């Protein structure tokens, strides 16, 4: 935007911030503007953070829960085995997980 289109700087010490807020608070929504507002869905409400008096009461749920969450473990492997797995490239963690899952499905297990 050229200097000729803007008479005063957007932010300056001569123009207090409250003047814009007063103009914003004075605006009344027209029926046309109201019709343009999106519908609030149940999903939006579920994801919302709720505040009372400026204090957070409940945080939105964030990421959806996954069916089978992963758990971090420490596993000691022979160096040549680990090097061979890593040499398969990106995604090797997932391939190890799938190999273990396949082994469990194929192997009979004792149940308590």
Rounded CA-CA distance 32/28 in Å is 11
More confident call, 83 vs 112:
83
Confidence (pLDDT) at 15: 65
Backbone angles phi, psi at 88, to 5 degrees: -75, -10
How confident is the model over 16-73, as pLDDT tens digits? 666 677 777 888 889 999 899 889 998 888 888 888 888 877 766 667 678 888 899 9
Domain that residue 35 falls in: 18-58
Confidence (pLDDT) at 77: 94
Lowest mean pLDDT among 8-17, 47-56, 74-83: 8-17
- Among 78, 63, 65, 68, smallest CA distance to 98 is for 68
Is the residue at 25 inside a domain?
A: yes
Is the residue at 35 inside a domain?
A: yes
Is the residue at 39 inside a domain?
A: yes
Is the residue at 89 inside a domain?
A: no
Say yes or no to pLDDT of 2 above 60: no
Is the residue at 7 inside a domain?
A: no
Residue 12: pLDDT band by 50, 70, 90 thresholds? low
Is the residue at 29 inside a domain?
A: yes
Is the residue at 53 inside a domain?
A: yes
Is the residue at 33 inside a domain?
A: yes
Say if residues 58 and 49 touch (Cβ distance below 8 Å): yes
Query: Which distant-in-sequence residues (6+ apart) come within 8 Å of 61 by Cβ?
Result: 46, 47
3-state secondary structure labels for all residues of 4-54: CCCCCCCCECCECCHHHHHHHHHCCCCHHHHHHCCCCCHHHHHHCCEEECC
How many domains is the chain partitioned into structurally?
1
More confident call, 25 vs 110:
25
């Amino acid at each position: 935007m050229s200097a000729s289109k803007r008479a005063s700087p957007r932010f300056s010490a001569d123009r207090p911030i409250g003047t814009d807020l007063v103009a914003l608070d004075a605006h009344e929504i027209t029926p046309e503007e109201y019709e343009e507002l999106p519908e609030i869905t149940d999903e939006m409400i579920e994801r919302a953070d709720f505040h009372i008096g400026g204090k957070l009461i409940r945080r939105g749920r964030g990421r959806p829960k996954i069916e089978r969450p992963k758990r971090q473990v420490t596993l000691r492997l022979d160096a040549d085995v680990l090097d061979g797995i890593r040499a398969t490239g990106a995604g090797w963690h997932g391939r190890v997980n799938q190999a273990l899952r396949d082994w469990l499905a194929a192997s009979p297990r004792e149940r308590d």
